[in-house]
């Protein structure tokens, strides 16, 4: 287990960084580029198809040196190694931090409490991929067999019907599910759209529409099933 360290603000280098920030805070980028014509080439990093240019920040070589010292005094490298090793570095919950397991490729191993967790992770990821592919490939449909019933055609305001049954445009919404109705009722309750014009006169309609949508959600009518 990685050893606990002092709070970062109590480390020796922190005081140096605080004093340094006061100094560089008064510098102008034009001055920094005039002093180092290759600054735009040196203060960059590239990895995994991403390009980072941090030359246009108030950063000097001294800044980078102090930051690296702070990372070393904080035990950052040991913490990173502990995370990848599956150690319980989440001290408040006393458990491992397994973000890396979600991104680790098949074939690697991350052991927690004597068990390799990656097979379980990839089992779930494979099921998620299978479900997504079936939805995109039209193999997964609603209980009536309709592709449109899955939802997701609310691309524009004109595609959405109003809760009172009228439409914003000429297009009928094919996904007028209970959840859609609840959402549109909520929009009206916030005073948007037609609710601004109708005001209190539609209050009873709002309540009835919300009750109906909620009942449909509870008893399952209008919901999509695979």
111-112 vs 44-47, strand pairing mode: unpaired
Question: What is the model's pLDDT at position 90?
Answer: 87
**Does the reported pTM lie above 0.85?**
no
Question: What is the model's pLDDT at position 84?
Answer: 85
- Report, as ranges of residue numbers, the positions in the chain whose pLDDT lies below 50: 152-162, 164-176, 193-202, 221-226
Please enumerate in sequence order all residues whose Cβ is within 8 A of that of 29, keeping only pairs 6 or more positions apart, or say none: 56, 58
């Amino acid at each position: 287990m990685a050893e606990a360290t002092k709070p970062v603000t109590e480390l020796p280098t922190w005081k140096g960084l605080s004093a340094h920030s006061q100094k560089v805070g008064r510098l102008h980028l034009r001055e920094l580029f005039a002093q180092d014509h290759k600054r735009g080439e040196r203060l960059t990093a590239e990895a995994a198809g991403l390009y980072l240019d941090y030359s246009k920040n108030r950063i000097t070589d001294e800044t980078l040196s102090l930051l690296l010292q702070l990372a070393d005094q904080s035990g950052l490298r040991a913490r990173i190694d502990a995370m990848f090793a599956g150690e319980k570095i989440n001290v408040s919950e006393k458990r491992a931090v397994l973000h890396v397991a979600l991104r680790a490729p098949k074939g690697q191993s991350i052991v927690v409490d004597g068990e390799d967790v990656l097979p379980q992770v990839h089992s779930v990821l494979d099921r998620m991929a299978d479900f997504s592919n079936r939805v995109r490939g039209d193999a997964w449909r609603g209980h009536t067999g309709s592709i449109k019933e899955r939802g997701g055609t609310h691309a524009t305001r004109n595609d959405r019907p109003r809760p009172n049954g009228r439409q914003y445009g000429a297009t009928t919404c094919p996904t007028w599910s209970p959840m859609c109705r609840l959402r549109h009722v909520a929009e009206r309750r916030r005073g948007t759209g037609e609710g601004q014009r109708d005001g209190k006169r539609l209050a009873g309609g709002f309540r009835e529409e919300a009750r109906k949508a909620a009942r449909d959600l509870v008893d399952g009518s209008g919901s999509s099933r695979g």
